[in-house]
Structure 1
Amino acid sequence: MLNITDLTLHYGGSQILNRVSVTARRGEVTCVMGTNGVGKTSLLKAISGTHPRSGGTYRLDGVEIGRASAHALAQQGVAYVPQGREIFPFLTVKENLETGFACLPRSERSVPEEIFDLFPILKEFLGRRGGDLSGGQQQQLAIARALVTRPKLLLLDEPTEGIQPNIIQQIGRVIAQLRARGDMAIVLVEQYFDFARELGDQFLVLERGAEKLRGRADEIERDTLLAAVSV
């Protein structure tokens, strides 16, 4: 689904990513790991089109992507759940979900019932404002809003950050269910080691904006991965 080679990215005169390559297959979770400030969020911004890359090749479902905007990539099936969730606090849950319609043709502008199977609490709170939800409920809303767009590629940036343990477990189950469907590739940026280790099919560890370690789950020993992501 996703094949990126030698991606570079700059913020002004500062190089943030240096020749990073990443692949993501349907029915798999690709985990991007590393300490704070190594470029994980910047990588997702480049993949989602929210920050233009400086160089490298980008293929989505076999098609080479040029300098596409975030909206154009969303129309092609890339959904991004950013760190911090970024839901609209004064819109209701229903209205937040409907913001995902922007990249869909009119015929597909509905909220799939499956979303409420994954996140039952959202059906109860459809009329509640997003800002009145707990942090865990807002995270569920942010993921659900992304799923409204029917993505081929789902990008998740630190979905467990600041979330209570029972919601972390639920989000883990949802990611596992989405993977099992087999029609979506998932790229997960995550610092909660055990959460990532349990879900990941392949791993990419970054250090100072470059690749430090790469491999599939059955190729990398737990201790090797833990050492690579430790300070």
Structure 2
Amino acid sequence: MLDVNNLTLHYGHSQILYDVSMSAEVGKVTCLMGSNGVGKTSLLKAISGTHARSGGDVTLDGGAIPRGAKAHALAKAGVGYVPQGRDVFPLMTVRENLETGYACLDRSERSVPDEIFELFPVLQDMRNRRGGDLSGGQQQQLAIARALVTKPKLLLLDEPTEGIQPNIIKQIGDVIRYLRDQGEMAIVLVEQFFDFAYDLGDNFVVLKRGEVTLNCDKQGLERATLLESVSL
């Protein structure tokens, strides 16, 4: 579903990513790991079109993504992005937040699937509450649900467990596992919680100072080897 080849990215004169290559397959979770500040979020921004890459090639579902492609065009092409910090609209209701996902859908597809509320029952109960009145965990569920409304082929999740209580972390993990097992999308997960990532991941990409230091699948990968690579 996703192929990234020799991607570079700058913020002004500062280079953040150096010739990053990775891929993400349908029906699998690709975990993007590394310490803070190594470029994980920047890579998701480049893939989602929220920050232009400086160089390299990105292919989505067999089609090349132009370097200057905008986020709304990529959302329409099937990229769902759940940013770090959630970015829900605090003064809009849960229902209205979900409906913002309609922007990249044809009119005939503009509805919130029942499956969304099956995955996140709390959103059904709070559909008329403002986004800003929800707890951090509930806002994270809303952010993921909003991305799912867009019917993504590729789902990008940036630190979905950050600042979340354990019971909701488990629920989010169950949702990611369910989405993977449906075999209809590729998932890229940026995650600092090692056990959560290792449990869910099928493939692992480790970044250090903007470069890939490990890129392999889980089969045959020792947990200790991955942990050491992430910790270096």
TM-score under structure 2 normalisation?
Answer: 0.99
1:74-153 to 2 correspondences below 5 Å = 74-153=75-154
Deviation at 1:229, TM superposition (A): 1.0
Post-superposition Cα deviations, 1:71-124, rounded to whole Å, max 9, x if no partner, equal 000000001000000000000000000011111111111001100010001000
| Structure 1 counterpart of 2:190 | 189
CA distance in 2, matches of 1:38, 1:4: 17
State the percentage of identical aligned residues. Answer: 70
CA distance in 1, matches of 2:231, 2:82: 25
CA distance in 1, matches of 2:89, 2:147: 13
| Structure 2 counterpart of 1:30 | 30
| Structure 2 counterpart of 1:18 | 18
Does structure 1 conserve the Cα–Cα contact (< 8 Å) formed by 2:204 and 2:217? Answer: yes
CA distance in 1, matches of 2:182, 2:40: 26
CA distance in 1, matches of 2:41, 2:201: 18
Q: Are residues 1:221 and 2:222 paired? A: yes
Amino acid at match of 1:85: R
Deviation at 1:219, TM superposition (A): 2.9
TM-score under structure 1 normalisation?
Answer: 0.99
CA distance in 2, matches of 1:94, 1:172: 23
Does structure 1 conserve the Cα–Cα contact (< 8 Å) formed by 2:22 and 2:215? Answer: no
Misfit runs of 4+, over 4 Å:
none
| Structure 1 counterpart of 2:174 | 173
Deviation at 1:175, TM superposition (A): 0.1
Does structure 1 conserve the Cα–Cα contact (< 8 Å) formed by 2:48 and 2:71? Answer: yes
CA distance in 2, matches of 1:23, 1:158: 19
Amino acid at match of 2:4: I
Q: Are residues 1:65 and 2:62 paired? A: no
CA distance in 1, matches of 2:204, 2:220: 10
How many residue pairs are counted as aligned between the two chains?
231
Amino acid at match of 2:190: V
CA distance in 2, matches of 1:208, 1:230: 13
Deviation at 1:13, TM superposition (A): 0.3
Does structure 1 conserve the Cα–Cα contact (< 8 Å) formed by 2:19 and 2:211? Answer: yes
RMSD, aligned α-carbons: 0.6
Does structure 1 conserve the Cα–Cα contact (< 8 Å) formed by 2:31 and 2:189? Answer: yes
| Contiguous gaps of at least 5 residues in structure 2 | none
Deviation at 1:218, TM superposition (A): 1.0
